[in-house]
Structure 1
Amino acid sequence: MYKNLIVILALINCIPANGQDMLIEQIAGKEVVRKAFNTDKELTAKQVFRVGELQTTGNQLSVQLQVNLFDEEGNLKDKYLTQYTCEPGKSDVLLAVFPFARQGNAEYVIEASSPGFKRLYDFDADDRKLENLSLEMSIESGILSFFGSKSIIAINDRKVSTTGSGFTLTSRLTVKAYMWGVNVKTITYQVTEKLDKKRRLISQVFMEKDGSYFLMNY
Structure 2
Amino acid sequence: MFIDQIEGRTITRENFNEKGDLLNKQIFEAGKVIKKNGNYAIKVTTELFDKNKIATDKYETIYKCKPDKFSIVVFVFPFANPKSKETEISSKSLNFKELYNIEKLNNVEIDLSFDSGLMNFLGSKSTIKIYDRKKEINGTNLSIKSKINIKAYTLGIRVKQLNYTITEKLNSDGLLSYQKFIEKDGSYFTMYYK
Same fold? TM cut 0.5? yes
Instruction: State the shift of 1:60 in Å.
Output: 4.4
Residues 87, 47 of structure 1: alpha-carbon distance in 2 compared, 3 angstrom cutoff: same
- Contact (CA 8 Å) 2:22, 2:51: kept in 1 or not? yes
**For residues 144 and 196 of structure 1, do their structure 2 counterparts lie closer, same or farther at Cα, with a shift above 3 Å needed?**
closer
| 1:198 and 2:176 correspond | no
- What amino acid is aligned across from residue 16 of structure 2 in structure 1? F
Q: CA RMSD in A?
A: 2.8
- State whether structure 2 residue 42 is matched by structure 1 residue 67: no
TM-score (norm 1): 0.75
* Mean Cα deviation higher: 203-212 or 130-139: 130-139
| Pick aligned residue for 1:189 from 164, 180, 191 | 164
Structure 2: gaps spanning 5 or more residues: none
Look up the match of 1:13: 2
Question: Residues 217 and 144 from structure 1, CA distance in 2 versus in 1: closer, same or farther, beyond 3 angstroms?
Answer: closer
The CA deviation at 1:85 is 3.6
Does the residue aligned with 2:8 lie in a helix, a strand or coil? coil
| Percent identity for Structure 1 against Structure 2 | 34
Give the CA deviation at 1:91.
3.0
Answer yes or no: is 1:38 the counterpart of 2:27.
Answer: no
TM-score by length of structure 2 reads 0.83
Q: Is residue 149 of structure 1 aligned with residue 128 of structure 2?
A: no
The letter of the residue matching 1:109 is I
Which runs of structure 2 are paired with 1:41-60 in the superposition (5 Å)?
41-57=20-36, 60=39
Whole-angstrom CA distance in 2 between matches of 1:133 and 1:45: 29
AA aligned opposite 1:13: F
Residue number in structure 1 paired with 2:136: 161
C-alpha displacement at 1:109, in angstroms?
2.7
Residue 94 of structure 1 contacts residue 108 of structure 1 at CA under 8 Å; is this kept in 2? no
- Report if aligned partners of 2:130, 2:149 keep a CA contact under 8 Å in 1: yes
Q: Is the 8 A contact 2:43 2:61 kept in 1?
A: yes
The partner residue of 1:29 within 8, 13, 18 is 8
Distance 1:39 1:142 in 2: 30
Counterpart in the other structure of 1:120: 99
**Structure richer in strand, relative to its length:** 2
Contact 1:168 1:194 in 2 (8 A): yes
SS in 2 for 1:100: coil
> Does the 8 Å CA contact 1:95/1:108 hold for their aligned counterparts?
no
Shift of 1:94: 7.8
The structure with the largest helix share of the pair is 1
| C-alpha separation in 2, matches of 1:45 and 1:52 | 23
What is the Cα deviation at residue 165 of structure 1?
2.8
Instruction: Give the drift of 1:64.
Output: 2.1
How big is the shift at 1:97? 8.7
Which of 57, 82, 106 lines up with 1:78 in the alignment? 57
Summarize deviations over 1:154-190 as a string: whole Å, max 9, x none: 1011111212233110111111111221222211000
1:200 & 1:217 partners in 2: Cα distance? Answer: 11
